Chain A
Amino acid sequence: MNIVVCMKETPSITAVKRFTADMRLERRKEDAEINPFDEYALEEGLRQREKHGGEVIALCMGPVTATENIRKALAIGADRGVLVTDPALEGSDAIGTARALAAALQKLGFDLALFGSAAADSYGGVVPAAVAEVLGQPLLSFASKLEIADGRAKIERAAETGYQVAEAAIPALVSVIQTINVPRYPSMKGIMQSKKKPIDTFSLADLGVDATLVGVAGAREKATGSSPVDTQRKGELFSGNDGAADRIVAFLVEQKVL
C-alpha cells in the first residue's frame, strides 16, 4: 500500500511568535517542529504499513529548511520524504496549500493519504478537505480509528454522543485526531537509517501548478495589522479549604452569573 502522510512544519507552542513586516508568521528554523497533530497521522501510516505492507512517504510543503523535520519523520519510520518548495509558494493560504499538496499527491500516487486534524500555527483544519475537493475525492475526516479492508477505508469519528462510522473506497484521504494512537519516538537505529533515506524536492513547475493560484498571488485574504491583547486578569488568590466555597459563590454572584 502506498501511504502518503501530509506533515506541516510549525513553530513549537513555546516559541516566541512574531509577525514579519508583511504580517506573516515569522518562521524561525530553530523553533520549527513537526506539527504535533501530524505525528498521529505519521504513526497511523506506520501502523497501516505494518499491517498491509508498502511504503510511507512524508510529504511536506515548506521552506528548504523543513528538510530537517522530514528527516525526523524518516527517523521515526517513514521510508522516504518529499518536500514541495518554491519561492512562489510563500504566503499561500489554505486553499493555495491544498492545490500544491493535491498536485504532489497526484504525482506520487497513493492508496491512503493521511493528514493531521489541524496545524498548530493557525488551527485551520481546512487543508485536508480542500485537498480532497481538488482531487474530487471524499475525505474521511477527524478519524479516531482507521481500518483498511477489502479495498475500503473505514473510520470512526467522534460525534457529540457516541461516534459515527464512515467509509470510502481506496484511494482514500483520511484526517486523524489525537485519540487514534500514541505516536512512537525515533529510535537510535531509526536515526541512523534516516540519513540514508531519500528526500525528493518538487517545485511548482515539477507539479504543473499555476503560480498565480498559490502563494501571495493566489491568497484571497490579507492581514492588515495587529495589536497586542490585554490578557491581564484579576488574579485574586484565596488560600485554604475553609471559606473557599463561599468565596467562589460570592465571586459568581458579584459577576452576576449566579
Chain B
Amino acid sequence: MANDVWALAEIANGKLTGVSLQVASKAAELAGQLGSSSAAVAIGTNTAAATVELGSCGVKTVYAADGTVYDEYLIQPHVDTLAALVEQHQPAVILFVVSNYGRDVAARLAARLGLGLEYNVSDVTVEGGRLVLTVPAFDGAQSVKAKFVGDGTKLIGARPNAFPANRVGGTAELVTVAPATAPANGAKLSGPFGAEDTGEAGRLGKSADGHDTWLPAANLPKLEEAQIIVSGGRGLGGPAGFAQIEALATALGASVGASRPTVDDGWIPYAYQVGQTGKTVKPTVYIAVGISGAVQHKSGMGSSRLIIAINKDKDAPIFGFCDLGVVGDLNVIVPQLIEKVKQRKGS
C-alpha cells in the first residue's frame, strides 16, 4: 500500500541484530501517525526467530525470505528480493540502519529503482502528512531538516541508536517470500573466520602477524547498540591495558571501544574503533579512558548523551567536550572504579 512504512531488518549469521528492532519500532510508530500499515523485511537464514522479535516491536507484517543463498553471496540476492517486494507493494518508506549491510543494500536498491535515499538520519517526524528528516551535519554542530522530492519509495538510513527499540508486544503476520536465486555474476562469500568466539571473557591473543592483541569477549553488547561504552586509547600503554577496560565494561554491562592508534598498533581489532574512520556511536554514557579527544575521535562519539573522561593531562582536548572530566592516572582509578561498580551492583 502506497502509504506503508517498512523497516529493513539485518540478519547476520542467522541472528537478528538489535538495531533492527530500533527501525522496526520506528516503522510501527510512523505508520501509526500516517494511518497506514507497517512491515519489516527479514532476509537471510533463521527468519522465523527474527519474525517473532520484529512482531514484538509492533510491525503488522513481516516479509521473510529464508535461504542459504543469502549467506553464500554478498548483498546481491538480498537486493533482488527486496527490489521485487518494493515493486510489488510500493511502500512509502523503508527505514534501514546505516551499517555496512544497510548501506550496501540501500545504495543498490536506490540505484536500481531510482529511489530517494537519505542516510545518517537522526530523526523522522510526520508534519502535515509528510515526512521531515533531521540529519546532523558538521560533526553534530548543525541539525539539517530535509525532505524528499518526487514519487516512489523513500529510503531512510538511521544512525544506530537514533530510535529506541520499543517492545510494545504483538505478533506480526508472516508472509513467506521465495528466496532469490544465486546471482550469475556475484560476489561469493565465506566466513566468518579468524578469531571466532573468544568465549565468556576477553583474552590476549595473537594477531595474524604474530603480535599481542586484546580479543574482547564475544558476548559483550555490540558497540552500535550499547547504552554504555568504555573506550580505551593510547594511554593504556599496550594491548594488555584493554583487560581493565573490558573488566570495567563487564561490571557496567557495557561495550568496549577503542581509539584509532590502538587499532593501528594492533592492540585490539578494528571492529572496536570509534571515530571518523571507525564506528559512530551514540550511547547514553561514553567513558573515554586514556583518550586525548582528537577531532577524528570526537566525530564518532560526540553525540553520546553523557561523556566521562579519564586522562592525566588536564589540557587534553577531551576535557573540552565532556560532562565529567577526571584528571588522574587511569592505572590507579580504573581498578578502583571496577571494584566500586561491582560493590554498587552487588548491593
Residues on A lying within 8 angstroms of B by beta carbon are: 13-14, 17, 19, 23, 25, 36-37, 93-95, 98-99, 117, 120, 122-134, 136-142, 144, 157-169, 177-179, 219-229, 231, 233-241, 244-249, 251-253, 255, 257-258
- Complex contact B117–A220 (CB within 8 A): yes
- Complex contact A158–B270 (CB within 8 A): yes
The smallest C-beta distance from B275 to any residue of chain A, in angstroms, reads 10
- Complex contact A130–B285 (CB within 8 A): no
Q: Could you say which residues of chain B place their CB within 8 Å of the CB of A228? A: 141-143
**CB closest residue in chain A, given B327:** A239
- Complex contact A251–B308 (CB within 8 A): yes
From B138, B195, B271, B287, residue with most partner A Cβ within 10 Å: B138
Main secondary structure of the interface of B (DSSP, over half): mixed
- Complex contact B110–A138 (CB within 8 A): no
Contact A162/B110 with A221-B117, A244-B310 known, Cβ cut-off 8 Å: no
Contact A255/B271 with A166-B189, A234-B324, A241-B329 known, Cβ cut-off 8 Å: no
Contact A159/B321 with A14-B295, A179-B270, A255-B306 known, Cβ cut-off 8 Å: no
Contact A221/B185 with A233-B307, A249-B341 known, Cβ cut-off 8 Å: no
- Complex contact B324–A236 (CB within 8 A): yes
**CB closest residue in chain B, given A140:** B187
Within 8 A of A (CB), among B138-165: 138-150, 152, 154
**CB closest residue in chain A, given B275:** A178
- Complex contact B329–A239 (CB within 8 A): no
**CB closest residue in chain A, given B183:** A138
**A142 to B98 alpha-carbon distance, docked (Å):** 14
Q: Could you say which residues of chain A place their CB within 8 Å of the CB of B115? A: 220
**A251 to B337 alpha-carbon distance, docked (Å):** 12
The smallest C-beta distance from B139 to any residue of chain A, in angstroms, reads 8
- Complex contact B324–A124 (CB within 8 A): no
Q: Could you say which residues of chain A place their CB within 8 Å of the CB of B310? A: 244, 248
**A244 to B332 alpha-carbon distance, docked (Å):** 9
Tally of A-B residue pairs with Cβ under 8 A? 279
- Complex contact B187–A167 (CB within 8 A): yes
**A47 to B227 alpha-carbon distance, docked (Å):** 41
**CB closest residue in chain A, given B263:** A179
Contact A141/B74 with A98-B111, A223-B145 known, Cβ cut-off 8 Å: yes
Tier of interface size on chain B: 35 or more
Q: Could you say which residues of chain B place their CB within 8 Å of the CB of A120? A: 276
Contact A252/B285 with A164-B192, A238-B327 known, Cβ cut-off 8 Å: yes
**A225 to B141 alpha-carbon distance, docked (Å):** 14
Contact of B103 among A93, A129, A136, A167 (CB under 8 A): A129
B297-329 interface mask toward A, CB cutoff 8 Å, 1 = contact, 0 = none?
001001000111010001000011111111111
Q: Could you say which residues of chain A place their CB within 8 Å of the CB of B344? A: 249, 253, 258
Q: Could you say which residues of chain A place their CB within 8 Å of the CB of B14? A: none
**A255 to B324 alpha-carbon distance, docked (Å):** 11
**A203 to B336 alpha-carbon distance, docked (Å):** 64
**A103 to B187 alpha-carbon distance, docked (Å):** 22
- Complex contact B110–A130 (CB within 8 A): yes
- Complex contact A241–B333 (CB within 8 A): yes
- Complex contact B341–A258 (CB within 8 A): yes
Interface residue B107 (Cβ < 8 Å from any Cβ of A): yes
Q: Could you say which residues of chain B place their CB within 8 Å of the CB of A19? A: 137, 142
Q: Could you say which residues of chain B place their CB within 8 Å of the CB of A226? A: 137, 142-145
Interface residue B211 (Cβ < 8 Å from any Cβ of A): no
B182-205 interface mask toward A, CB cutoff 8 Å, 1 = contact, 0 = none?
010111111111111110000000
**A126 to B188 alpha-carbon distance, docked (Å):** 20
Other A-B contacts than A168-B186, A220-B115, 19 sampled, CB-CB below 8 A, are A94-B119, A98-B111, A126-B103, A141-B100, A159-B191, A160-B12, A162-B194, A164-B193, A165-B190, A233-B321, A235-B325, A240-B327, A241-B329, A241-B332, A241-B333, A244-B310, A245-B340, A247-B326, A252-B341
Q: Pick the 8 closest A-B CB pairs, nearest first.
A: A220-B116, A164-B191, A162-B194, A138-B187, A129-B107, A126-B107, A245-B336, A133-B111
Q: Could you say which residues of chain A place their CB within 8 Å of the CB of B106? A: 126
Interface residue B235 (Cβ < 8 Å from any Cβ of A): no
**A258 to B12 alpha-carbon distance, docked (Å):** 31
B88-131 interface mask toward A, CB cutoff 8 Å, 1 = contact, 0 = none?
00000000001010011011101110111111100000000000
- Complex contact B189–A227 (CB within 8 A): no
- Interchain Cβ contacts under 8 Å between A and B, 26 examples: A95-B111, A98-B107, A99-B111, A129-B111, A133-B107, A136-B185, A140-B187, A158-B270, A161-B192, A164-B189, A165-B191, A165-B193, A166-B74, A166-B190, A168-B188, A221-B146, A223-B146, A227-B143, A229-B141, A231-B321, A236-B323, A238-B326, A239-B328, A244-B310, A245-B336, A258-B344
